Every structure is written in C-alpha cells, then in structure tokens.
C-alpha cells in the first residue's frame, strides 16, 4: 500500500489555529508530512509601515493573542534601540513582571490545549481555571485580559496598583500548590501519559539547531540556550533564575518539551516574586521617546515559544520604513516533519501539541 | 436474601396486555351493537385477540417494549446525566443545569423571579436528543448509502440485543437463557462490525481509519474477555446469570470458616480475571483510555465523523447503553449481581421482607461502577493503537490464560469449593 495523505486542518480539532498539516500515512505510520501555512496572513509587517511607531503596538499585540505583552515588548525594545532611548529602572522591572506573568498565562494556555490533544479534557478546564489567576493579575496591572497594549516605547503604560505584590504572592502560592497537588498526579505520575509522550517526536540537538528551533523546544533537546541569559535585556541580568534544560535521557521528545515548559512556569513565578522584591519603590516608569527616528534597531527576546526577533528600520519619518518579524514557531514547524516521520498517526497531536503552535505569529 | 420488585416481567406484561385487550374487545363489541351488520366479524376478531396464543405473542412484544423503555428511556438518560454531572464536578464546574423552567413556553416561562438555569439538568439530554431529531440526515455523495444507513441501526440493534438476556433481578428480565452470559458477550461483539461498516461506507479517510482501528482492536480485547469468562466457569460451572447470582448470594466460606464477606467471585482466585475483565470492558464500551475508533483529537470524530442528525445521536447515545450493559455484566459475574447484604431482610412471621428490592441493589452497583468508569476515563489520556494492541496481546491474553490455570487449580484443590 503506497499510503495516502490525510489533511489535518485547516478545520480540525488538532490544529490550534488555522493551518494545515498534511500527513502521509502508511497504515497508521507516518511516512511524510508537510505543514501548509498562510490561512491567517494579515500583513502585520506591511501595515506597520503606514502607522506611527506608537500605533504599531496595537498590531504586535495581535501577533499572538495568548502572549501579547512579550511580542509588543520585543517591538518596543527594537524601536528603543533605534531611537537610543533608555528605559527607567522601574519601567524595566515592570516590564519583566508583566512578561513573566504573560509567559505563565501563555504556558497555561498551551497546557490547556495539550490535554485534550491526548484525550485528557480535564486538564483543559483546570488550566483555564488557573490561567484566570494570572489574567486577573495582568488585568490589575494593565487593565486588560487580552491584547493588553501595555509596553510603550520608553517604558510601560501605567504603574502597578497598590498591594500588587501581596496579590501576586497569594496567587502564585495558590498556583504552585495546585501544580503540586493537582497537575503532578494527573500528568507526571500517569503511566498512560508517559506512554503517549515519551520517545515520540524525537529531534536531535544538532537537527534542532540546524532547523532553527529555539526556546523551550530547543532546551528540551538538552541545549542550554535562553536569550534572557545569553543576550540579557531589561533587568534579567540582576535576577536569579535557572533556564529549564532537559538533562535526562530521550532528549528532544514530547515529554521533555512538556517538562521544560511545565518547570518554566515555576521558574517564572520565582522571577515575578524576585522582581517585585528588587524593584525600586519610587521612580519613573516611562521616558518620552522622540517622535521621529532614523536608523536600524534590532532586538531579540525570549518569547514564550522561543526566540522572537524584531528588526525595525526608520528613515527619519514618524513611522517605520520596514519591520521584520522572526517567529520562533514558524521555524519550529519547518522541523515538524522531521519529528513526525516514523511515528504513528495518533502521535501527530502528541508532537504538535507539545511544540505549542500559535498561528497568529506564524502567519503574521 | 432479598426479593425482586417485579417477580416476573412476563406475568406482569401478560396481565397488562390482557387488560388492554379486554378494553379493546369492549370497544369492538360496542361498535358491533351500534352497527349490527358487522357484529359477528367483530365478535370473531375480539375472540381471536383474547385467545391465549395471540395474547402470549402480544405480551412478548409488550415485554420487549417495556424493557426498551426501561433501559433506554430511563437508565440510558440517567447514566448520561450521571456522567455529565460527575465529570463536571471533576473539572470544577457545575455541568448541565437546564430545568423544565428553562423552556420558553407558556406554563414554564412565568417564574421570572427566580433564576431559570439552576435545575438539576436532567432534561438536558432530552433537549439534545430533540435537537438531533430535528437535524437533517446527510449522506455523503460518495458514500455507499445502503451500508451507511444500515450501520447505525446495526449498532443500536445489537446493543439492545444485550438487554434481551441481561437480567436486572431474579424477575425483571426478557429471556432467561442457560448460556445467557455467552449470548450477552456475543451480542456485545457484534457492534465493532457495525463500526467498521459505518467507517468504511462513509468514504472518508478519518472514518476509514477509525473503522479499521475498531477492527484491529477487536481481537485484542474480545479474546481476553471470553477467556476470563471461561476461567469463571471453572468456579461456577454455569453461564446462567440466575445461577451465577444465586451462587454468590451467601456468606464466603474459606477452609470451613464462615467470613462476614459475601461469596462474590471477586474474592478468591477470580480476582485476576476481574482485573482483566475491567480493563477489557473499557475497550468494549469505547471509553477514553481505549476509545481509539473515535479519537477526536486526531480523527475529528473517528468513525462517526460523517454521521449526522439522529443517526449520530443513536450511535453516540448507545455508548452509555453499552456502559450500563458492561457494568451489569461485571456485577453479575464478579460483584454478586442483585444480591443485597444479609441484613437487608427481616422476617415477619417467617416471611422475608426485603428492605430494598433486588433491582435497587443491582442499579446501585451499575451506577457506582458507572461513576468509577467516568472518573477513570476523564483522568487518564487516550492510549495509542499499537499500545492497546500491546496491552491486549502481550498482557491481557497471557494473564487471562493464567487466570484459567489458577481457576482450574483452585477447583482441583478445592479452595473455596
């Protein structure tokens, strides 16, 4: 039997977003795979050329609706480098806090999507329940649950409310307890969960680097990369945290990716509390940036899904001449056929769920 | 010892049918009085209806109808409601809450002063069924329409066939067969053929893969299911549900010592068979760890993808009927069937008066097992097709053969008589 192609998408429960994974199966074994993208192309890079620097943040918020702040922050960082603007220290701390809260919320959304992929719908409801805690914190900070429009060129939009530290502490304490009591028995201790995720979707560290896989997916291969450590931005240099790298056997499978992301949520909780403690109590959180700029700015940050890169070019006008976005998941998806080949049809969801696809940022 | 609520379903249905026929006869005779020319043929018809042969056939039909209403209309809806409520609580939410006061019709929409969507939600499944009834039955243009139409009826029919032999108590059953358990297992294993037909005839890749998965899985769990029942026969010597339950309706005696435990087949050498049966019956019910034919994550809805309207409703809803049948089978084989604990009876002038009838004890077991299966399938992920084949061929079948040897040895050396 030569096998046949199965369309997994664009309308399919496996795809979190609008894209198509064509899978060629021989019986139940995958012999070939081809991702097809472009269903959600909105032309963010092109629209940015006709909007003022400030107004582009609205667009970058919508690059990935589950981690808006991290994308807007990457854009602001690139524009600040072009303009030569220095962000006040308090503003930098506020950015770090919002980035890490957003990272936890994004990872919880990933977990909520990964559970049903494996037939575990309970995890969806639980993760969304815990995500509410962090959406509430983000709402207190920014006034919005989604598409927060929070980072500004030269700082952040507004200060945190009173007693934000106390509320953060209470929520994080509750969250860590839930992770220990609810999620670990459900996922880490489950034999069936291990059966479904261990040893599937293997990609070697060398292959992953060749194909441009970054972020938690590359750390799961055992490579210690984290832009927050390698090329520190904001105040990450002053904070103590450990990039979550998979050290066990079977590096690069779905289980290691799961563990890396899961532990990153705990690590982010620590960063939030540390940043709140070290933050200067008084001071500016924003400087006024120039209206027009000329030159080139380039920033790379550790997004929830990998290495986000923004390149902004100005020609002396009040709007960018050119914006280029590098989406981490776009490159990871290119390596997806490598992970899929030789696995079973049911593993498609176990693999593609674990790399955390977000179509908004892929199609831009 | 306890007594059944319905001493004999056939006798009850015979009385019911006789009463209905008597009323019909009176109407016929009244018509004969009003229209004298047809008086004689009407009397002949009335006499024929009331003759014992016709009455017996009609009461058989009424009995089947009563059992379908009992199983499908009452227990199926209750089991669906239990499942939806229990897994909602597991997921930290209320679940279905539609009540009769949620209807936007005259007698129900008057109570505006209180929140309407705060009911028990029992009618939600009825509402879902009504919605599915109104939907169009689409047949894909390239499908083999005859087989596509037959498949849901096949699955629903074979599932109902189980209830022809499954007794609910020592009185509430349609037919009591000497090989009742064998008949139930045979009727159970007919549905995968319907799944294969439905998946293949729809001419869709998802349904085809789902149907073929069902065919591949069939051997992996049907064989251990039959083998552990063979192991059970070594202990019981019978496949008649009535005999099986009667054997378990006493106190357990180990080496001549009477224990306070009931003599369920679960306690003793059959424990291994019980565990294997529990694992295999989950695959038989197509519940989550083993619901590969309709794995909704990778195969959209598996073999039910192309089914629409009440065709989908039938095959989807009858999953719970299979769950009831499976739970009933487990309780008859291993958990003492409808026997209540000894203290449920007290004697009034040497006549045993049961505190609860047998049907209640049986349904208690069914629903407790149902809750167990619900909690199980909503807290573990779905296994892969090669993994279920591994579990079936490399674990369940060897262990069920071991269960046969253990049961035979226990029989030979006289452990637990």
pLDDT tens digits along A230-274: 888 888 888 888 888 888 888 888 899 999 999 999 999 999 999
Instruction: Answer whether B383 sits within 8 Å of A196, measured CB to CB.
Output: yes
Tokens of A286: 């924003």
The pairs formed by B387-391 with CB atoms below 8 angstroms and a separation of 24 or more are B387/A195, B388/B217, B388/B220, B388/B221, B388/B283, B388/B290, B388/B292, B389/B216, B389/B217, B389/B220, B391/B220, B391/B279
Is A118:A193 a contact under the CB 8 Å cutoff? yes
Question: With an 8 Å Cβ cutoff, is A234 touching chain B?
Answer: no
A358 Cα to chain B: minimum distance (Å):
17
Chain A residues with CB-CB distance to B205 below 8 A? 4, 6
Q: What is the CATH number of domain A45-147+157-363?
A: 1.10.645.10
Please indicate if any CB of chain B lies within 8 Å of the CB of A128. no
A209 in Cβ contact with A255 (< 8 Å): no
What average pLDDT does range B133-145 have in this prediction? 88
pLDDT tens readout for residues A78-125: 999 998 888 988 999 999 999 999 999 999 999 998 988 888 889 999
Domain boundaries, chain A: 45-147+157-363
In this prediction, residue A237 carries a pLDDT of 86
Residues of B with Cβ-Cβ distance to A186 under 8 angstroms: 379
DSSP A186: I
- A273: Cβ–Cβ under 8 A, 6 or more apart, which residues? A168, A169, A172
Q: Does B136 touch chain A (CB under 8 A)?
A: no
Q: Which of A192, A193, A200, A343 to mutate to test the interface with B (most CBs of B within 10 A)?
A: A192
Confirm or reject contact between A261 and chain B (CB < 8 A): no
Q: Which of A79-83, A143-147, B263-267, B368-372 has the lowest mean pLDDT?
A: B263-267
Q: Which of A113, A109, A145 is nearest to A130 (CA)?
A: A109
Partners of A14 on chain B (C-beta within 8 Å) are 297-298
CA distance B182 to A51: 75
What is the dihedral sign for C-alpha B259, B260, B261, B262?
positive
How far apart, in whole angstroms, are the C-alpha atoms of residue B231 and residue B237?
10
Of the candidates B291, B378, B387, which has its C-beta nearest A122's C-beta?
Answer: B378
Q: Does the structure's ipTM exceed the value 0.90?
A: no
Nearest to B333 by CA among B192, B188, B193: B188
Disruptive mutation site among B297, B301, B385 for chain A (greatest number of A CBs within 10 Å): B297
Question: Tens digit of pLDDT for each residue in B215-240?
Answer: 888 888 888 999 999 998 888 888 88
Summarize the confidence of residues B112-121 as an average pLDDT. Answer: 67
Work out the pLDDT band at A128, boundaries 50, 70, 90. very high
Residue of B375, B381, B391 to mutate, interface with A, max A Cβ within 10 Å: B381
When the pLDDT of each residue in chain B is averaged and rounded to a whole number, the result is: 85
Tokens 């199926």 -> residue: B76
Q: What share of chain A has pLDDT > 90, as a percent?
A: 26
Q: Rounded distance, CA B238 to CA B162, Å?
A: 19
Q: For residue range A138-151, what is the model confidence (pLDDT) as tens digits?
A: 999 998 888 888 99
DSSP string, A329-358: HHHHHHTHHHHHTTSBTTHHHHHHTTT---
Distance from CA of A5 to the nearest CA of B (A): 9
- Alpha helical stretches, state H, chain A: 44-48, 56-61, 68-83, 89-117, 121-142, 164-178, 191-197, 205-211, 216-219, 227-230, 254-278, 328-334, 336-340, 347-352, 359-363
Helix (H, G, I), strand (E, B) or coil at A139: helix
Convert the pLDDT of each residue in B161-209 to its tens digit. Answer: 999 888 988 888 888 888 889 999 999 888 888 899 988 898 888 888 8
pLDDT surpassing 80 at residue B73: yes
Q: Which residue has 């509750």 as its token pair?
A: A174
CA angle B65, B66, B69 (to 5 degrees): 85
pLDDT confidence band for B417 (50 / 70 / 90): very low
Give the torsion sign (CA, B1, B5, B9, B15): positive
Shortest CA distance from A16: residue in chain B: B297
Which chain A residues are closer than 8 Å to B384 by Cβ? 195-196, 344, 346-347
Contacts of A190 in chain B (CB under 8 A): 380-381
**Residue A345 to residue B298, Cβ atoms within 8 A:** yes
Q: Are the C-beta atoms of A298 and A181 separated by less than 8 Å?
A: no
pLDDT 10s digits, B105-114: 777 777 665 5
Phi and psi at A296, nearest 5°, equal -125, 140
Q: A346 to chain B: which residues are within 8 Å by CB?
A: 292, 295, 297-298, 382, 384-385
The pTM of this model reads: 0.86
Collapsed DSSP state (helix, strand, coil) of residue A106: helix
Q: What mean pLDDT is predicted for residues A157-168?
A: 89
Residues paired with residue B347 on neighbouring β-strands, in sequence order:
B352
CB contact under 8 A, B385 and A120: no
What are residue A298's DSSP bridge partners? Answer: A311
- Provide, rounded to the nearest whole percent, the portion of chain A with pLDDT above 70: 99
- Rounded mean pLDDT, B19-25: 90
Rounded mean pLDDT of B272-293?
A: 87
Q: Are residues B302 and B210 in contact, defined by beta-carbon separation less than 8 angstroms?
A: yes
pLDDT of B115 higher than 60? no
Closest by alpha carbon to B194, among B226, B143, B162, B157?
A: B157
Q: How far apart are CA A275 and CA A272, in angstroms?
A: 5
CB atoms within 10 A of CB A188: 14
Query: How high is the pLDDT of residue A177?
Result: 92
- B345 - beta bridge partners? B354
């Amino acid at each position: 039997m030569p096998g046949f192609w199965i369309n997994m998408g664009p309308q399919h429960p496996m795809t979190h977003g609008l894209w198509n994974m064509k899978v060629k199966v021989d019986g139940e074994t995958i012999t070939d795979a081809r991702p097809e993208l472009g269903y959600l192309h909105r032309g963010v890079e092109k629209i940015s050329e006709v909007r003022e620097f400030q107004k582009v943040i609205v667009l970058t918020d919508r690059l990935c609706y589950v981690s808006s702040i991290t994308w807007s922050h990457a854009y602001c960082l690139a524009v600040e480098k072009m303009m030569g603007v220095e962000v006040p220290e308090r503003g930098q701390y506020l950015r770090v806090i919002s980035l890490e809260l957003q990272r936890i919320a994004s990872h919880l959304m990933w977990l909520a999507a990964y559970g049903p992929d494996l037939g575990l719908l309970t995890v969806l409801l639980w993760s969304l329940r815990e995500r509410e805690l962090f959406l509430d914190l983000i709402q207190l900070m920014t006034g919005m649950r989604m598409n927060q429009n929070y980072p500004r060129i030269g700082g952040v939009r507004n200060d945190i409310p009173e007693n934000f530290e106390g509320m953060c502490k209470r929520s994080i304490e509750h969250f860590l307890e839930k992770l220990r009591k609810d999620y670990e028995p459900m996922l880490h201790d489950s034999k069936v969960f291990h059966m479904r995720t261990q040893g599937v979707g293997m990609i070697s560290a060398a292959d992953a680097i060749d194909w441009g896989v970054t972020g938690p997916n590359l750390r799961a291969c055992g490579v210690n990369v984290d832009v927050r450590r390698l090329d520190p931005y904001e105040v990450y240099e002053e904070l103590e945290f450990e990039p979550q790298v998979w050290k066990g056997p079977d590096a690069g499978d779905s289980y290691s990716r799961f563990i890396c992301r899961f532990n990153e949520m705990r690590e982010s909780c620590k960063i939030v509390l540390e940043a709140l403690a070290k933050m200067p109590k008084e001071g500016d959180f924003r400087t006024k940036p120039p209206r027009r700029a000329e030159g080139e700015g380039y920033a790379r940050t550790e997004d929830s899904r990998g290495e986000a890169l923004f390149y902004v070019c100005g020609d002396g006008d009040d709007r960018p001449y050119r914006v280029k976005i590098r989406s981490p998941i776009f490159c990871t998806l290119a390596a997806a056929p490598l992970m899929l080949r030789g696995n079973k049809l049911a593993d498609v969801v176990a693999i593609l769920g674990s790399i955390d696809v977000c179509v908004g940022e892929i199609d831009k | 010892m306890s007594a059944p609520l319905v001493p004999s379903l056939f006798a009850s249905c015979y009385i019911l049918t006789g009463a209905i026929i008597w009323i019909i006869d009176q109407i016929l005779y009244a018509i004969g009085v009003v229209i004298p020319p047809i008086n004689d043929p009407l009397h002949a018809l009335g006499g024929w209806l009331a003759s014992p042969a016709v009455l017996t056939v009609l009461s058989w039909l009424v009995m089947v109808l009563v059992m379908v209403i009992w199983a499908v209309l009452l227990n199926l809806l209750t089991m669906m409601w239990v499942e939806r409520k229990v897994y909602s609580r597991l997921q930290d939410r209320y679940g279905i809450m539609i009540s009769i006061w949620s209807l936007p019709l005259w007698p129900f929409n008057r109570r505006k002063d209180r929140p309407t969507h705060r009911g028990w939600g029992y009618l939600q499944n009825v509402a879902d069924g009504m919605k599915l009834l109104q939907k169009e039955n689409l047949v894909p243009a390239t499908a083999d329409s005859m087989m596509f139409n037959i498949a849901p009826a096949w699955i629903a029919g074979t599932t109902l066939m189980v209830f022809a032999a499954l007794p609910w108590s020592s009185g509430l059953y349609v037919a009591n067969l000497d090989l009742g358990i064998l008949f139930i297992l045979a009727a159970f294993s007919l549905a995968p053929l319907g799944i294969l037909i439905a998946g293949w005839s729809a001419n869709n890749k998802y349904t085809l893969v789902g149907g073929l998965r069902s065919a591949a899985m069939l051997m992996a769990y049907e064989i251990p299911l039959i083998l552990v029942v063979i192991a059970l026969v070594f202990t019981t010597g019978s496949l008649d549900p009535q005999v099986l339950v009667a054997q378990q309706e006493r106190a357990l005696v180990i080496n001549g010592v009477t224990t306070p435990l009931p003599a369920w087949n679960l306690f003793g050498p059959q424990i291994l068979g019980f565990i294997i049966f529990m694992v295999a019956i989950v695959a038989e019910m197509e519940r989550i760890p083993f619901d590969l034919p309709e794995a909704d994550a990778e195969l959209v809805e598996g073999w039910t993808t192309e089914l629409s309207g009440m065709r989908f409703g039938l095959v989807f809803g009858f999953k719970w009927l299979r769950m009831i049948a499976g739970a009933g089978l487990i309780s008859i084989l291993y958990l003492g069937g409808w026997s209540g604990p000894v203290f449920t009876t007290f004697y009034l002038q040497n006549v045993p008066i049961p505190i609860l009838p047998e049907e209640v004890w049986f349904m208690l077991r069914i629903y407790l097992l149902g809750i167990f299966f619900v909690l199980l399938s909503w807290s573990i992920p779905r296994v892969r097709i090669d993994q279920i084949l591994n579990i079936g061929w490399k674990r369940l079948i060897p262990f069920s053969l071991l269960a046969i040897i253990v049961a035979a040895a226990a029989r030979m050396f006289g452990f637990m008589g």
